[in-house]
Amino acid sequence: MARTYGIDTQSGNWTLLTTTPFVGAANPLTNEINSTFGVTSKNTTTLYNALISFTSGASTVNNNDLLQNDVITNLNGTVIYSIWQDLTQGFTLASNPLPTDVAKQNGGFNSFLANYGLTVGEEIICDVGYIWLATLAQTLRLNTNESPFYANYGIAAEQSVQTQIAPTIDITKTQQQFAPYFQSLTIFKQPNTVNPTYNITAVFLTGTTIQTVIAT
Interval 75-123: pLDDT, tens? 788 888 888 988 888 889 999 999 999 988 776 433 333 333 434 443 4
pLDDT at 26: 67
First to last CA, the chain: 34
Angle CA 137–138–139, to nearest 5: 90
> Which of the four pLDDT bands, split at 50, 70 and 90, describes residue 124?
very low
pLDDT tens by residue, 154-186:
887 666 666 666 677 888 889 999 999 899 999
In this prediction the pTM is 0.43
Residue of 26 and 102 predicted with greater confidence: 102
E strand or H helix that includes residue 202:
strand 197-203
% residues pLDDT > 70 (the chain):
67
pLDDT at 170: 85
DSSP 31-86: EEEE-TTS-EEEEEEEEEEESS-EEETTEEEPTT-EEEEEEEE-TT--EEEEEEEE
pLDDT at 39: 58
Whether the per-residue pLDDT at 22 is higher than 80: the answer is no
The domain spans of the chain are 2-104, 128-215
Residue of 64 and 186 predicted with greater confidence: 186
pLDDT tens by residue, 43-59:
788 888 899 999 999 99
Q: Are 203 and 139 spatial neighbours (Cβ–Cβ below 8 Å)?
A: no
Q: What are phi and psi of 194, to 5 degrees?
A: -60, -50
pLDDT at 191: 81
Whether the per-residue pLDDT at 20 is higher than 50: the answer is no
Amino acid identity at 54: F
DSSP 100-149: GGEEEPPPSSTTTTTTS---TT---PPPHHHHHHHHHHHHHTSBTT-SSS
> What rounded mean pLDDT belongs to the chain?
74
Residue of 27 and 2 predicted with greater confidence: 27
Distance of CA 202 to the CA centre of its chain: 17
pLDDT at 125: 47
pLDDT at 144: 76
pLDDT at 138: 84
pLDDT at 107: 60
% residues pLDDT > 90 (the chain):
17
pLDDT at 147: 66
pLDDT at 213: 83
